[in-house]
Amino acid sequence: MIKVMVVEDELPILRNISNLIESISPLYHVVYQAKNGKEALNILRENDIDLMFLDMQMPVMKGLDLLQELKLLSIQIPIIVLSSFQDFEYVREALRFGALDYMLKPLKKEDLVKVLGKAERELIRSNCIIQKEDGSEAFSETNVGYDMALYCAGSYNIDDFTQTISKNQKHMENELEIFLETKLTKDDYWLIQGKEAQEKLILFRHKKTIQYTVNLLKQHLEQSGNQAIPITIIIYGLPIGMKQIYQIHTKLRSVLRKEMKIHDDILKVYNPEENLQLARKQVIPLPFEEVQFKEQIYPFVYKSIQNCNENRKMILQRLKTSLLFFQKRFPCNFDYVELEDSINSIIQNAYDMNYIYEEIKKIVMEAFYEDLRKNGNKEKLAYTLKDYLDKNYKEHISNQDLADKFGFVPAYLRNIFQQEFEKSPMEYIQYIRIEKSKKWLSTEPNLSLKDIAEALGFSDQLYFSKVFKKMEHMSPTEYRKIHQESGSNPKSV
């Protein structure tokens, strides 16, 4: 249920608008009505509202005054402003203070359908990224709900600064979008960027049974699967209410990480009622006492991951448990962090078990059999690596790509680069990209954020904005506005 408040000073119009909203869909319920901005503000302070329709011309407190007050109080809800005349300056002020859209009175049903669809998209997006206090509103016969699935092309990134996707992964996401467009209407599903660059959250308007969603995504997997990069899809086994989205999204991410394979596609229906009945699997300890000499390390590790059924998380855990145990027991060229980073990088980029075996063999050789610290010029290597990143920052580059190119395990490269430049290679790439973007935002007003993101090698505009805000503490749009108004121009990188 989406709880709606209508704020309108003329009682007949207030009733008509409320009835029209509820006639569009059982999803919308007008639970509060107010005759002026002051009444509305008191209701908002004490109650949870999802969506508000706000008349601009009212006694006591006008609509614009209420918008300003809500902004000061940091009360954020989608607001549709209502006006009896086309005063675009007034409407522009309302939009500046956070209104989602506006409508002219009298309301037309076809226009209201479009505006409510826009509001629903905004509410879904908000519920995906923000934990709501009232997360108990589950699906019921009287409460329109959603089917939810989590889609991932490839593996999860383990390092926050490598959240980019390859061209192949982007192509697979495009195939998913095209498939959904051909099978469903735009009002029946939402495709939302997940917390990871290669993750997509799919919400379907719930129909008769969850099996329709299962069959639909199974069909997509049959058409698009069996590629070099595996696809993992986890479907929640029950329809959900809007305010459960964040909670269920978090649960599906946890399930997806547990189920993801190295090479095979996975489609799994997660049913919480069934999973509550499953006993926790007993963890079988590894027989470390079998290894008496360092020459036995690789055969032991090889055997320990052979029986993991290509489960990505299980392999990662066994590799860390084994190699970090041996790092304490035998003389080792890597410290704890370097060894862990090397393991993370291998599993993050692995889509074939033979690749894992070969890369783990390299780590064991370099960590336990060779004295890397006596060989090579570390400072020269760091600057060679920096020069490569300066020239190729627009490309999709991972820690493993650098390891393959320069012939050292990822952790060693990261360590010598960080010692020289106080940033990891992945952090340095993001630094270059953001500095370049700041120059374009200040000097190229006609370049869209999408164009800038693509030119700098970001997977999409949303991820570019996320990284920019994390590093600059403001959005690209805010940065552009500030620097274009001041006429300042950041230094070239």
Q: Report d(CA 369, CA 298) in Å as an integer.
A: 11
Axis crossing angle, helix 336-349 with helix 399-406, rounded to the nearest 10? 100
Structure tokens belonging to residue 28: 């919308």
Residue 434: pLDDT over 70: yes
Name the DSSP letter for residue 207: -
Q: Which tokens hold the place of 51?
A: 């969506």
The two three-digit tokens of residue 331, written as one number: 């003389």
- Concatenating the DSSP letter of every residue in 24-52 gives H-TTEEEEEEESSHHHHHHHHHHS--SEE
Partnered with residue 143 across adjacent β-strands are 140
**What confidence score (pLDDT) does residue 145 get?**
77
CA atoms within 13 A on the CB side of 204: 25
**Which residues does residue 102 pair with via DSSP β-bridges, in sequence order?**
81
Task: Give the chain's mean pLDDT.
Answer: 82
DSSP line for 236-275: ESS-B-GGGHHHHHHHHHHHHHHH-BSSS-EEEEE-HHHH
Greatest Cα pair distance, the chain, in angstroms, is 87
Categorize the per-residue pLDDT at 5 as very low, low, confident or very high, splitting at 50, 70 and 90: very high
Alpha carbon of 47 to those of 4, 31, 32, 182, 343: distances in Å? 11, 10, 9, 41, 49
CA distance 356 to 358: 5
User: What is the phi-psi region of residue 5: left when phi exceeds 0, alpha when psi lies from -120 to 50, beta otherwise?
Assistant: beta
Dihedral Cα 422, 427, 429, 434, nearest 10 deg: -100
In the predicted model, is pLDDT for residue 164 greater than 70?
no
The side-by-side arrangement of strands in the sheet containing 51-55 is 28-34, 2-7, 51-55, 79-83, 101-104
d(CA 146, CA 184): 14
Q: What is the pLDDT of residue 283?
A: 54
pLDDT > 70 fraction of the chain, expressed in percent and rounded: 87
Which pLDDT score, from 0 to 100, does residue 218 have? Answer: 92
Whether 1 contacts 27, CB under 8 Å: yes
Distance between CA atoms of 465 and 452, rounded to whole angstroms?
10
Query: What does residue 115 show for φ and ψ, rounded to 5 degrees?
Result: -65, -40
Give the full edge-to-edge strand order of the sheet including 199-205: 189-193, 199-205, 146-153, 231-236, 266-270
Residue 18 has pLDDT above 90, yes or no: yes
The pLDDT of 355-363, averaged and rounded, is 88
Residue type present at position 161? F
Work out the percent of the chain whose per-residue pLDDT is above 90.
Answer: 19
Indicate the Cα dihedral angle 246, 247, 248, 250, nearest 10°: 80
pLDDT at 326: 92
pLDDT for 151 equals 93
> Could you count the other beta carbons within 10 Å of the beta carbon of residue 387?
10
Q: Which pLDDT value is given to residue 380?
A: 80
Tell me what pLDDT residue 138 has: 47
Digit-coded pLDDT (tens) for 316-329: 989 999 998 999 99
Q: Residue 442: pLDDT above 90?
A: no
> Among 109-118, 122-131, 473-482, where is mean pLDDT lowest?
122-131
When pLDDT is cut at 50, 70 and 90, the band that residue 243 belongs to is confident
| pLDDT reported for residue 373 | 45
**pLDDT tier for residue 277 given thresholds of 50, 70 and 90:** very low
Band of pLDDT at residue 117, cut at 50, 70 and 90: confident
Cβ(199)–Cβ(151) below 8 Å: yes
Torsion angle, alpha carbons of 395, 191, 123, 142, to 10: -160
Residue 123 CA, distance from chain mean position: 16
Helices (H), 424-460: 425-443, 449-455
Contacts of 40 (CB under 8 A, 6+ apart): 5, 7, 34, 52, 54, 61, 66
Closest alpha carbon to 78 in 51, 115, 41, 42:
51
Q: 130 falls in which pLDDT band (50, 70, 90)?
A: low
Alpha-carbon distances of 248 from 90, 189, 330, 476, rounded to whole Å: 40, 17, 44, 30
* Interval 460-479 mean pLDDT: 87
Higher pLDDT, 225 or 304: 304
Q: Which tens digit of pLDDT belongs to each residue from 22-55?
A: 998 777 889 999 999 999 999 998 888 889 999 8
Task: Classify residue 34 by burial, with Cβ atoms within 10 Å: 0-12, 13-18, 19+.
Answer: buried
Of the listed ranges 13-22, 41-50, 175-184, 204-213, the one predicted with least confidence: 204-213
Kindly provide the b/e burial profile for residues 179-206, where b requires at least 16 CB atoms within 10 angstroms of the residue's own CB: bbeeeeeeeebbebbbebbbbbbbbbbb
**Model pLDDT, residue 158:** 62
- Residue 342 pLDDT > 70, yes or no? yes
Q: What was the pLDDT predicted at 122?
A: 83
In this predicted structure, what is the pLDDT of residue 234?
Answer: 94
Rounded mean pLDDT, 365-384: 70
Question: 38-55: b or e for each residue (b if 16 or more CB lie within 10 Å)?
Answer: bbbbebbeeeebbbbbbb
CA separation for the pair 125, 491 (Å, rounded): 36
